[in-house]
Amino acid sequence: MPRTFVWHRSRGPKTTAPNTLTKGKVLIRQVKSGLGQTARMRANLEALGLRHHQSEVTHQDSPSLRGMIKRVRHLVTVTKVKE
């Protein structure tokens, strides 16, 4: 059976927001529902502490947190918390 779908690097978002978060705390707000998303994305939202639409959490910024945010970047907004 021939392969009908091939992933191309040119597909997908042209640009993403620059990764400027390095230190301190970040406020993560869920702006879109996890319903209709994959189980992996819903599990990621729950691991971040976002249980429902419009919920907010504050976390210490780290590379692992950035990886989790990157998976669900179309469902959340991230802002740096002023200390």
pLDDT at 13: 60
Identify any residues that bridge with 57 across adjacent strands, giving them in sequence order.
Answer: 28
Write out pLDDT tens, residues 17-56: 666 556 789 999 999 999 999 999 999 999 999 999 999 9
Fold of the domain spanning 25-80: Ribosomal Protein L30; Chain: A, (3.30.1390)
pLDDT at 23: 76
Output the pTM of the full model. Answer: 0.72
- Would strands 25-30 and 76-80 be described as parallel, antiparallel, or unpaired? antiparallel
Would you list the domain boundaries of the chain? 25-80
Which stretches of 18-72 are DSSP H helices?
A: 39-48, 63-71
The structure tokens listed for 31 are 């702006």
